[in-house]
């Protein structure tokens, strides 16, 4: 049975996509078969994997048969069910479900059908479970040990449907006011979606495969990505200190909170630093940072930084694997 893990925070720019991308490579390097799904209409993940030439082929004028939108087109037009998705082979062990800027067109349909599930309409369940069933079809075509899901920064209907198909959710965040506010929306919303799906599922037709809607919080990752040299360190320390309590209160729904520090918090999967010029270099080379070689420009200090990034991401991936019961070979 494949595992599904989503990277999610409704706050934008906190490193969801960067994280999904690098963790996918670590899992693949350690022998797992990875399917990575770009359910964000911004399609940033897709553009990290694929160059412009390939993107131009996948996104022609007119219909896009080989993107996630392509698989959903029969549903969007009301003429059929979700189709077999194209899997873009990134490597022997990474397959990508290609993102599409046009995916935002699915938002309205998903909003309309959500309440109709309460009345047991089969077509509504088909729409709501289309992301999940797309993943199932992909996993039938290709060996898949783990599915990683990237989504956009909002609490909209696309994300609700995409996240319902995730057994686990990893929450990337930054040490700032916006991220803490973000948690206060994210946690209660995930709980609400979980509960509403549970109610609806009971009314579904028996033969339709439906996601569990578990969305179990696996932990958070603190990105020091906005730590600037011109801002005093204590500004970040203040927000960092509040993260564990806010995560427990908002995301886990704990009522009584005993303060712990991030450094000793079980729910903190990693504190990742800003990799500075390594990241643009990786984007340019279309590789994870830890695969950068001297030929890509990773010389001297960059080479050792690239290597250290590999240690950071391996540790993080191992934490995610432990939390989600994934066997890293
Ligand atoms: N650890 C890091 N070191 C350096 N740069 C990073 C790091 N993490 C993310 N970035 C950069 O920060 C920006 C935002 O990251 P990313 O796109 O992963 O965030 P996101 O949460 O997916 O954003 P969105 O909400 O728009 O989907 C990108 O330009 C990315 O290259
Ligand atoms: Mg993103």
Q: What is the pLDDT of residues 248-298, one digit of tens each?
A: 999 999 999 999 999 999 999 999 999 999 999 999 999 999 999 999 999
Candidates 185, 199, 321; CA nearest to 246 is: 185
Q: Is the pLDDT of residue 227 over 80?
A: no
Nearest atom, ligand 1, residue 11 CA: 25
CB atoms within 10 A of CB 278: 20
Candidates 197, 85, 181, 179; CA nearest to 131 is: 85
152-203 pLDDT, tens per residue? 999 999 999 999 999 999 999 999 999 999 999 999 999 999 999 999 999 9
Domain residue spans in the chain?
A: 3-323
CA of 16 relative to ligand 2 center, distance in Å: 5
Superfamily of domain 3-323: P-loop containing nucleotide triphosphate hydrolases (3.40.50.300)
Candidates 138, 185, 182, 176; CA nearest to 39 is: 138
Nearest atom, ligand 1, residue 153 CA: 25
Give the confidence band of 2 by pLDDT, cuts at 50, 70, 90: confident
Give the confidence band of 225 by pLDDT, cuts at 50, 70, 90: low
For atom 14 of ligand 1, which residue has the closest CA?
13
5-49 pLDDT, tens per residue? 999 999 999 999 999 999 999 999 999 999 999 999 999 999 999
Q: Is the pLDDT of residue 230 over 80?
A: no
pLDDT at 235: 77
Q: How far apart are CA 277 and CA 296, in angstroms?
A: 12
Ligand 1 neighbour 12 (Cβ under 6 A): yes
Q: How far apart are CA 281 and CA 303, in angstroms?
A: 11
Q: How far apart are CA 172 and CA 182, in angstroms?
A: 11
């Amino acid at each position: 049975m494949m595992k599904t893990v989503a990277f999610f925070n409704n706050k934008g720019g906190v490193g969801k996509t960067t994280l999904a991308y690098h963790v996918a490579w670590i899992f693949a390097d350690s022998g797992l078969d990875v399917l990575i799904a770009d359910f964000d209409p911004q399609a940033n993940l897709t553009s990290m994997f694929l160059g412009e030439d390939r993107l131009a082929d996948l996104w022609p004028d007119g219909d896009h048969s080989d993107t996630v939108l392509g698989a959903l087109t029969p549903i969007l037009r009301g003429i059929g069910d979700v189709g077999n998705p194209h899997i873009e082979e990134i490597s022997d062990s990474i397959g990508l479900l290609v993102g599409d800027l046009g995916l935002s067109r699915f938002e309205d349909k998903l909003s309309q059908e959500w309440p109709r599930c309460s009345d047991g309409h089969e077509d509504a369940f088909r729409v709501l479970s289309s992301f999940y069933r797309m993943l199932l079809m992909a996993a039938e075509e290709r060996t898949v040990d783990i599915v990683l899901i990237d989504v956009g920064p909002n609490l909209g209907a696309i994300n609700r449907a995409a996240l319902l198909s995730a057994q686990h959710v990893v929450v990337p965040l930054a040490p700032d006011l916006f991220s803490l506010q973000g948690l206060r929306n994210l946690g209660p919303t995930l709980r609400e979606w979980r509960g509403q799906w549970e109610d609806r599922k009971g009314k579904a037709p028996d033969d339709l495969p439906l996601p569990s809607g578990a969305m179990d919080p696996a932990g958070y990752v603190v990105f020091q990505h906005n730590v600037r040299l011109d801002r005093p360190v204590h500004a970040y320390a203040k927000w960092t200190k509040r993260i564990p309590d806010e995560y427990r209160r908002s995301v886990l729904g704990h009522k009584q909170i005993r303060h712990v520090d991030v450094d000793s918090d079980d729910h903190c999967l990693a504190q990742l630093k800003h990799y500075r010029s390594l990241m643009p270099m990786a984007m340019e080379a279309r590789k994870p940072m830890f695969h950068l070689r001297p030929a890509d420009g990773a010389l001297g200090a960059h080479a050792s930084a690239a290597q250290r990034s590999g240690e950071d991401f391996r540790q993080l991936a191992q934490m995610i694997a432990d939390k989600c019961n994934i066997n890293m070979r």
